[in-house]
C-alpha cells in the first residue's frame, strides 16, 4: 500500500481513462462499502457520462449490513445500477451478469435495430487504489475466461477478457484518485487503510476511531476490549492498552502498540461490520 499521487500521475491516469472509456459501453465502478461516498472519485460522473453505469459496493462483508442497503437505495435513487459484493469470496458476483444486461438494455436494443446481433457488451472496471479492482477482476473473470487481442494476427491493442459471448472486460482497471484535498475524506481513507499510514500519526488515528466507534457503534469497544465508562477517547485507549497488556519497560504504557491494535482490528473487521460514511456525509469522525 504505497500509493503516491502527484499531479503528473493523476493527469496521466485521467488521460488514459478518457481514452479507454471511449471503447466501452459500461463503467463498473468499485467503491468501498465502508465509505461508499468518500471512496468515489469526483470526476467519474463526468468521465462516465453517456455510458451505462454499475456501482459495486465492494468489501460489503466488512461494512454494516443495514447501511449497505441504505447506500444501495441512495445510489439507485441517483440512477445507478448497484450491487453489494465481496470480491474476495465471490459473494454477490453471480448477480452481475443479469444487472449488466439490464444496465445496457438500451445499447442492446439500439444494436438490434441496426441489425447487429450478439455484439458483446464491453465493460471496464474503475476505482481508487486498494478498493479491490484486481481482486474483483480475478474473481469475476475466474479461470474460465479467455484473453483476446495482442495475439499474432490480431490487431495490436487493448487486452480484453472474454467472460462469455455477451460480455468482455478490459483487463486493466482504470485507477482513479480519491478526493484527497477534503480532510474528512482523507481521514476516512486512512481509517480503512486506503492511504499511507505516514499521513496521519497512528495514535491520533486510533483516537479518531475510538471516538467514531463510541458515537456510532457504542457496543463495539466493550465487546472487543471489555472496556466501558471512560471519560474521553484517550482514557479509552489507555484502558485498551492495559487490557491488552501493552507495556514498555516496567509499567509504562505502550500507547502506540495499543493504537496499532485498534487500527488493525478496525480495518480487518474484528470490531464488527462498520460503515463510516452516512448519507449526510459531512458529519465529523
Rounded to whole angstroms, the Cα distance separating 23 from 130 reads 24
Q: Which is nearer to ligand G4P, 48 or 104 (CB)?
A: 48
Q: How many CB atoms lie within 10 A of CB 194?
A: 22
Q: What is the binding site for ligand G4P (CB under 6 A)?
A: 58-59, 61-62, 86-88, 127, 129-135
Q: Which is nearer to ligand G4P, 84 or 237 (CB)?
A: 84
Least Cβ distance, residue 167 to ligand G4P (angstroms): 20
Strands (E), the chain: 26-32, 52-58, 81-84, 121-127, 146-148, 160-164, 167-170, 174-175
Give the β-pairing of 160-164 and 167-170.
antiparallel
Least Cβ distance, residue 55 to ligand G4P (angstroms): 14
Least Cβ distance, residue 33 to ligand G4P (angstroms): 8
Q: Which is nearer to ligand G4P, 126 or 246 (CB)?
A: 126
Least Cβ distance, residue 173 to ligand G4P (angstroms): 6
Q: Are 203 and 197 in contact (CB under 8 A)?
A: no
Q: Which is nearer to ligand G4P, 110 or 270 (CB)?
A: 270
Residue 47: partners with Cβ closer than 8 Å, 6 or more residues away: 14, 17, 18, 21, 27
Least Cβ distance, residue 31 to ligand G4P (angstroms): 11
**CA neighbours within 13 Å on the CB side: how many for 30?**
29
Residue 94: partners with Cβ closer than 8 Å, 6 or more residues away: none
Q: Which is nearer to ligand G4P, 62 or 246 (CB)?
A: 62
CA distances from residue 180 to 16, 35, 131, 245 in whole angstroms, order as listed = 20, 14, 15, 36
**Closest CB to ligand G4P: residue number:** 132
Q: Which is nearer to ligand G4P, 47 or 93 (CB)?
A: 93
Q: Which residue has the cell 459473494?
A: 91
Least Cβ distance, residue 131 to ligand G4P (angstroms): 4
Amino acid at each position: 500500500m504505497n500509493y503516491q499521487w502527484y499531479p503528473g500521475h493523476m493527469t496521466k491516469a485521467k488521460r488514459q481513462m478518457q481514452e479507454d472509456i471511449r471503447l466501452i459501453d459500461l463503467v463498473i465502478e468499485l467503491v468501498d462499502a465502508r465509505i461508499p461516498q468518500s471512496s468515489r472519485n469526483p470526476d467519474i460522473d463526468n468521465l462516465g457520462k453517456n455510458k451505462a453505469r454499475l456501482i459495486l459496493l465492494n468489501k460489503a462483508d466488512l461494512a454494516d449490513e443495514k447501511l449497505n442497503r441504505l447506500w444501495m437505495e441512495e445510489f439507485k435513487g441517483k440512477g445507478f445500477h448497484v450491487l453489494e459484493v465481496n470480491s474476495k469470496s465471490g459473494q454477490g458476483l453471480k448477480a452481475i451478469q443479469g444487472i449488466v444486461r439490464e444496465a445496457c438494455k438500451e445499447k442492446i436494443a439500439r444494436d438490434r435495430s441496426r441489425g447487429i446481433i450478439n455484439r458483446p457488451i464491453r465493460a471496464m472496471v474503475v476505482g481508487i487504489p486498494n478498493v479491490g479492482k484486481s481482486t474483483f477482476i480475478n474473481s469475476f473473470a475466474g479461470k474460465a475466461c479467455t484473453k483476446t487481442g495482442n495475439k499474432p494476427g490480431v490487431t495490436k491493442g487493448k487486452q480484453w477478457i472474454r467472460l462469455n459471448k455477451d460480455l468482455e472486460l478490459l483487463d486493466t482497471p482504470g485507477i482513479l484518485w480519491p478526493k484527497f484535498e477534503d480532510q474528512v475524506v482523507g481521514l476516512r481513507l486512512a481509517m480503512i487503510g486506503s492511504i499511507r499510514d505516514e499521513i496521519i500519526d497512528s495514535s491520533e488515528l486510533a483516537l479518531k476511531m475510538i471516538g467514531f466507534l463510541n458515537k456510532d457503534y457504542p457496543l463495539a469497544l466493550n465487546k472487543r476490549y471489555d472496556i466501558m465508562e471512560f471519560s474521553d477517547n484517550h482514557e479509552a485507549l489507555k484502558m485498551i492498552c492495559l487490557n491488552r497488556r501493552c507495556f514498555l519497560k516496567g509499567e509504562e504504557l505502550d500507547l502506540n502498540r495499543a493504537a496499532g491494535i485498534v487500527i488493525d482490528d478496525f480495518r480487518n473487521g474484528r470490531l464488527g461490520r462498520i460503515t463510516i460514511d452516512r448519507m449526510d456525509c459531512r458529519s465529523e469522525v
